[in-house]
Each structure stands twice: as structure tokens, then as C-alpha cells.
Structure 1
């Protein structure tokens, strides 16, 4: 993964600061697809065992260590699911939460809200004795790294997820997550390609900073920063994107490439792609094609580590089978940078976000969004 993208010299506070980078956000798309694919699985009982077996399992919340053997008779709302994207690193490297999203499902289990938390959000990270961490202030994505330390062993991403979950709970006021997932972005392109690509609406002409029209990486500029050579282009209108094109499109954030609102535009494009991807999963082309469906399931499963606190990913998929892509509300949380240029420290939410979290806790998001339509990310 590239580093140093936020906090560069001259950086200005944005309407939506701290937006996850292209690969970071893309990594959680597979998890959203897995959790919201129950309607696809119903009627395909032969695939259920493969679906469950393909998904990695880990104790993401420390339940086993605490001696918990929780098992729900059935899944009831409201639900909060923490989705974390990571970029696979060397086994000895501490993992970072490159993308952090929460999927909130109201009591009716027929719709959902999806919102992101800035990886650079300045937060209080609680004490975590398992990793020998005494607690402190830092960036949100660092919680996973600090919590992953295991004495005498390689870092543990699942243990790091536990501290990250505790930190996100403090930020959002969510008392308990009902499930969690870690997904790596290297598998995302395979998911899209297994689906045969994804159709989505491109809201304006965009040129790639990173890829040539044939998908190869552009060469670095020998005379300065940036890249040289022909650029892949994404024209306004409905387009069909392959895996590499999807990753590349949602990466773009520069005005010079056709994204005048920078990181805010990139986040909107990422969320638009989530809906397009899930819609594709529900399409007849996938649902009525067992071989393609099997490829999609396996591609997603190989990239996913899931913990349902006693319930399997299939249990959740079937429980949420009533949710359709058009019933997933994409939320933007306004924030701003703390400091600029070399004095940049991270991100903070604007005060209105506290009202959003209060509405979330009180199950009043429908009313909140009606009163605050600016929190709704447009679909196209």
C-alpha cells in the first residue's frame, strides 16, 4: 500500500476528511457482499456448505478467551457489524486497519445503513492488557496495530481487531458488535472478476492517475513526482468495469483527473460501487448460474475472516435475506483535518456527527436522515 497520502503539505480540511484510500474501502466490499447475499443462497442448499467452509474463522472479539460460549437461537435486530479491510503484509508486520466501516441493521432486518470511519480519526484507544498496551490517544487505524502484539510471536490480526472494536465502540457509542469481519483487498479483484465484472453509473469523466488503458501501471515521472504515459479513462454514463478497472476508478481523487471534490468524491464513488456490486450479486446472471455463484462465493470466502459471536456467516446471510441494494443507505459523516501541511495531526468529526451516533443508539436513524439529508451520500 502507498503511504503518506493524507496530511501532505498544503492539505485543507474537507467536508469528508480521512476517507479510506481506494484499496482500503474496496477490501470491505467483499464482506458486505457476503453478509447481504442470503437471498442468493436461499434455494442453493448445495452451496451452503461451501459458502460456510470457504470463510476463515477467528475469535475477533475475545469471546473464547473470556470463556463465552454464546449461541443465539435466531438472529434478531438491531444489528451492528464491524467490517475492517487490511492490506496483507509480512507475518512479522503489525496489521493496520486500512478501512473501517459499520453496517447497522434496524430491528426490522429489511434495510441497512453503511458508514465509514476515517482511519486518521484522532481517538482515545483504551487499555488492552493482552498486548501490553496501557492506552492513549492516537489515530483510529493504529488501534489494530497496537492490539495485535503477542509476546514472542508474530502479531495477531484477530487480537488487533478486538482492540479496534473496543475503540470504535467508544467513538460511536455502540455497546456491542454482533459480528465482525476482516477482508483483504488482494481478493477483491477476484470477486469482481468472478462476477464477470460490475455495471455502474460513472457520474463524470475521470482519468486514471495510476493505470494505462490496458491496465498496466503507469511509469513514474523521472523528472519529478507523479506518473507519465497514457491514462485509462472512465466516461460519464453506465459502464462495465472489470476487477482492475473497479479498483482503479474508486482510487481516483485528484481534481486534475476529473474528481473536483477530492476525497469526498472518491468516498462517494466507493459507496456507489458498493451498491452496484451488491446489485450485480442479486442479478439473474449470478443467481441463476450456479457455477458463477460458486466462483463468487469462493473468491469472497478466501478473502474473508468472519466472527458472528456464535452465528455463522450463513446464519447472518439468511437472516438479512430481506435487504436489497436499494434499501442500503450510504452515509457520509462530516469531518475536518486537525492542522494542515507539516502540522497535520489527523481528523476529527464535526459536532453533528454526535447527533448521528445518538440517533443510531436510540434507533432513530430514519428520522435523523429525514432531518439531515446532507448525511446521505447520493447514489449517482
Structure 2
């Protein structure tokens, strides 16, 4: 799938962000945009940033309300803000993408902290009609909205158009009528970001074994006739760990009880959120901040990993606006949900009623009070 990149989104060449990335890369890859958005506090010189990094960030009309490539304007970004972050399963260029990871970063009016929550990709929802892709609307899993919206007759799927329908669907689910910014992130870039930082230190909450990788990072072989994989498994032991790019990617995509993740996709969401905080913390560490060469590599890797739309504001504008936020001021949220059906009759997930109370708190700027009353929404380590 070709995504326009460079200033203006068109005329600046194209980069195949998703081509050649394997089907198994089902992982939340929103880490790059979080890093880019929160980089303003450690980098100086607005114009230098704008010219040096902005050109590497892909542009796209993710919300359908401006032409891709419309000239961006500088403005004073004020809270509260809601930013939609989506990691997609790349697959083949001709195959419509699925949104494998869907997160919302809510920033209250004070602009000094954030609340990060994930929506289950298997959430059963009403997807609205979308004439641009000849989609009549219907009930399906949330991650399918991006696939339906991306379809362009006679052409390869358009991920930006798919994002537009996904954003409309997430708006219906949460009641958040307008997202202030959005981004699509790719898997390859995630690995590059981690490696550019020299790896990331994080706490592993429990022993986890890899479904797909050997201890040396090579892929395990499929069992003849199907039914799983053969060979030794990479292991992630409980406690403090230093993960390189492939290890981090592998760890945050594990979701099977047999591999040590008893709460399946909810556990995977938790690991992804934990890693976001660890990665942001690492980005602000002295090892990165005081090393101009490493810092340059990290921010460039992040910029080259995403398609961003700030509804008139650049990613650098957002980075500087959010410069007061640090890893320890991002609260990760676990939305209460449950499965619909079991085994072969499994149909997806649904959110419990209190999740709607949380969404109401976001819309009415009462999240702090809500969290005091509902401490169980705070994501735990296990």
C-alpha cells in the first residue's frame, strides 16, 4: 500500500510503509507517535525541528475534512485533547488493512498529564455507512471498520480513508465527537525506534513464552499439517528486563494463556500500555537526551514510522504543546469488558456499562474525579 509522504503529502515521493511486512505483525505500534508527540520537552528550536523532522512524517487526510496536502497552520494548541492512535496489520498491498491496535490518548485542559486507553479490536460495534467506500454500514468487530473504509474500487486500499471510517466508529462508541489529531503507525518503524534507543528497560509482570520466535530471534517453524509451531521459544522472565527491537515487538504481541498471558487480548493491551510508558521514559533518559546522535536517530525513526494528521497543526506543534507530559504522568486505563460467546461460538467483545461512564467523564472533563471513584480502571501490572 503506497502512502504519500513528505511535505504536502503529494509530490514529495511515496514510501511503501506496509509492503513486505509479515502478516504475523499483529501488535500495537502506536509507540512512535507517542514519542513524537511527547518530544517537545527535550528538543529545542522550533524552526529547526520543523525543517529537520517534519519532512519525514507522512501526511494523510485521516478525517476527511481537508485535502491531503493542505497547508498546515500554526496555532496555539489548547486542551482538552483527544488523539486517536492506530496500529495496522500491513499484510499485502492489495489487502484491506485491519486496525489491530486502537488507542486514545486523552489530555485534560491542564496539558500536563494524559490518560491512555485501548479499545478491543474485537469489540462488536455498529459501523456507520460510508459512501466513499460504498459501505452500507452494519454490525462487525471494531477493527473491520478500517478495512471497510479503505476500499477503493479498482485501486489498492487507502489506509487514510480507512482511518476516517474507524474514527467515525470510535466516535460512536465513545461519544467523543471530534479527535484533535490522529496517526497510523507501522510495525517496521516500531522496531527501528527501539533499536535507535539502544533497547528499552521495562518490568516484565510474569513469565511469558513466545509463540513465534526462538531465543535468537529467528522464527519458529510451523508444525507440519498446522496446529502450532516447533522448536525452542524465546522467553521473557518476570522482573526487570532490557529488550531490543525484536524482543519488544515479540513480547507485546503475546496473547495466549498457554504462553503466560492468562487474560488474552486484555493482557496484551496491558503489556502494550506498559511498554509505551517504558519507551517514553527511556526517550527522556539522560542516555538519549544528552546524546545528540542517538536522539536524532530516535526522532527520525519515529517520524518515518507514521502517517499523521493534526487537523491543521503539525506533529511538531503537538510535540511542543505536550512538552509538560512525561511517562510518569500518563495513566494507563483498563476498560471493563467481556467476551460474547465462547469457543467456536465466540463473536467478539463488549464493554460493560461503566465504560460508558468513563467516556462521559472524558467528554465532561471529569476524568480525575472519575478515577478517584473507580480506582479499578487504573491498569495494574498483573
Q: What TM-score do the two structures reach when normalised by structure 1? A: 0.89
Partner of 1:94: 96
How far the C-alpha of 1:186 sits from its partner, in A, is: 1.9
The yes-or-no answer on 1:258 pairing with 2:260 is: yes
Query: What do you get for the CA RMSD once the two structures are aligned?
Result: 2.2
Structure 1: segments with no counterpart, 5+ residues:
1-20
Higher mean C-alpha deviation, range 342-351 or range 170-179 = 342-351
Instruction: Give the distance between the partners of 1:377 and 1:169, measured in 2 at CA.
Output: 23
The yes-or-no answer on 1:56 pairing with 2:58 is: yes
Instruction: Give the match's secondary structure for 1:38.
Output: coil
Partner of 2:197: 195
Partner of 1:136: 138
Partner of 1:148: 150
Partner of 1:367: 369
Partner of 1:341: 343
Partner of 2:3: none
CA pair 66-95 structure 1, distance change in 2 beyond 3 A: closer
Deviation sequence 1:320-379 (CA, Å, 0-9, x none): 000010000000111111111222211111111111111111111111111111111025
How far the C-alpha of 1:23 sits from its partner, in A, is: 4.5
Instruction: Give the distance between the partners of 1:254 and 1:122, measured in 2 at CA.
Output: 21
The yes-or-no answer on 1:314 pairing with 2:297 is: no
Contact kept in structure 2, 1:91 and 1:155, CA below 8 Å:
yes
Instruction: Give the distance between the partners of 1:355 and 1:226, measured in 2 at CA.
Output: 41
Partner of 2:4: none
Higher mean C-alpha deviation, range 185-194 or range 338-347 = 338-347
Instruction: Give the distance between the partners of 1:262 and 1:64, measured in 2 at CA.
Output: 39
Instruction: Give the match's secondary structure for 1:99.
Output: strand
Instruction: Give the match's secondary structure for 1:52.
Output: helix
Instruction: Give the match's secondary structure for 2:154.
Output: coil
Instruction: Give the distance between the partners of 1:194 and 1:67, measured in 2 at CA.
Output: 29
Aligned length, in residue pairs: 360
Instruction: Give the distance between the partners of 2:122 and 2:157, measured in 1 at CA.
Output: 21
Match for 1:222 among 221, 224, 239? 224
How far the C-alpha of 1:183 sits from its partner, in A, is: 0.7
Instruction: Give the match's secondary structure for 2:155.
Output: coil
CA pair 122-277 structure 1, distance change in 2 beyond 3 A: same
CA pair 212-90 structure 1, distance change in 2 beyond 3 A: closer
Instruction: Give the distance between the partners of 1:44 and 1:289, measured in 2 at CA.
Output: 19
How far the C-alpha of 1:116 sits from its partner, in A, is: 0.7
Match for 2:238 among 236, 253, 266? 236
Structure 2: segments with no counterpart, 5+ residues:
1-22
Instruction: Give the match's secondary structure for 1:212.
Output: coil
Match for 1:300 among 299, 302, 313? 302
Instruction: Give the distance between the partners of 2:258 and 2:156, measured in 1 at CA.
Output: 42
CA pair 280-214 structure 1, distance change in 2 beyond 3 A: same
Greater length-normalized contact order (CA 8 Å, ≥ 6 residues apart): 1
Higher mean C-alpha deviation, range 50-59 or range 87-96 = 87-96
Instruction: Give the match's secondary structure for 1:40.
Output: coil
Instruction: Give the distance between the partners of 1:22 and 1:29, measured in 2 at CA.
Output: 18
Contact kept in structure 1, 2:30 and 2:85, CA below 8 Å:
yes
Instruction: Give the match's secondary structure for 1:231.
Output: coil
Instruction: Give the distance between the partners of 1:44 and 1:229, measured in 2 at CA.
Output: 51
The yes-or-no answer on 1:209 pairing with 2:217 is: no
Partner of 1:3: none
Partner of 2:250: 248
How far the C-alpha of 1:33 sits from its partner, in A, is: 1.3
Instruction: Give the distance between the partners of 1:100 and 1:140, measured in 2 at CA.
Output: 9
CA pair 22-76 structure 1, distance change in 2 beyond 3 A: farther
Instruction: Give the distance between the partners of 2:219 and 2:119, measured in 1 at CA.
Output: 29
Partner of 2:282: 280
Instruction: Give the match's secondary structure for 1:155.
Output: coil
How far the C-alpha of 1:235 sits from its partner, in A, is: 2.0
How far the C-alpha of 1:82 sits from its partner, in A, is: 0.5
How far the C-alpha of 1:90 sits from its partner, in A, is: 2.8
CA pair 66-230 structure 1, distance change in 2 beyond 3 A: closer
Q: What TM-score do the two structures reach when normalised by structure 2? A: 0.88
Instruction: Give the distance between the partners of 1:109 and 1:25, measured in 2 at CA.
Output: 28
CA pair 209-278 structure 1, distance change in 2 beyond 3 A: same
